[in-house]
Every structure is written in structure tokens, then in C-alpha cells.
Amino acid sequence: MIAKNVTFDTVGIWVQIWGAPLDMVCPQVAGEVGGRLEKVEEVKRRWRNDMQNLFMKVKVVIPISQPIRRGGFLLGSDGQCTWAMFKYERLPIFCHYCGLLGHGLKHCASYFTATKMERKWYANMGIG
């Protein structure tokens, strides 16, 4: 095996799940949410039962060619939908515009195209 034969198409990364209803903060729910992101590698469990967790933590393997998700809706035990926000730990180079790993905002073709079209629109309107 040599370096040019190795392809990196996925990355294992820890995801924090914030904003879930308190009755849903458990390893089973973390595993279910992680499974909807991609393949689950590990679920972090609480160290002590008397401590209240503010978030759940799951390690998932995500493809680097797809945008990362910023959150998702959870259906609570009371039947109400709640938005849970995902925070990624030690995220490598990441574009906040398109959501892809591997480049930043400065090198994003989608952002460049969008801002170019926006500047053109403003110029046509006589603004700026």
C-alpha cells in the first residue's frame, strides 16, 4: 500500500447534540440521532448518574463529500417537535457557507458565485 492508493472519503467525528428535551437525553437517543447522521462508531455515556447532561455526544463517520448537518428535529415524548443543534468537535477545515469539509469560505466556489450574483443584482438596481 502506498499513499497515493489511499482515499479519504469519510471522517470520524464527535457530535454534540444540544437542545433535546431533558427526558430524551440518554445514550439510546444519542445513538438514534447519530444513526440518522451516518454510521455510529461510539456513544458517550454519562460518568455519574447524579450529574445532569446538557447535551448528548456521539461519534459518527460522515462522508466528506456531503454537507454536514447543523441540527435536526426531535419528536419528544409529549408529541412536540424540538430543534436540536449539532456542534462538531475538532472539525477540520470547514466552509460555513456550503457546509462541506476541506475548504474555507475564502475558497468556496458556491459562495463566490452567490456573492458575484448579488453584486451584479445590486449594480443593476443602481445600489452601491
- Say which residue, 96 or 82, is predicted with more confidence: 82
- Is 35 a residue whose pLDDT tops 60? yes
- For residue 7, the tally of other CB atoms under 10 A from its CB is 6
Range of the domain at 19: 3-92
Q: Is residue 21 part of a domain?
A: yes
The answer to the question of residue 13 being in a domain is yes
Q: What is the pLDDT of residue 71?
A: 93
Q: How confident is the model at residue 47 (pLDDT cuts 50, 70, 90)?
A: low
CA gap 39, 10 in Å, rounded: 10
Q: In this predicted structure, what is the pLDDT of residue 94?
A: 82
* Number of independent structural domains in the chain: 1
Residue 119 in any domain: the answer is no
- pLDDT, average across residues 14-42: 91
CATH number of residue 15's parent domain: 3.30.70
Please state, rounded to an integer, the average pLDDT across all residues of the chain. Answer: 84
More confident residue, 61 or 2: 61
> Pairing state of beta strands 39-43 and 71-75?
unpaired
Here the cell at position 116 is 458575484
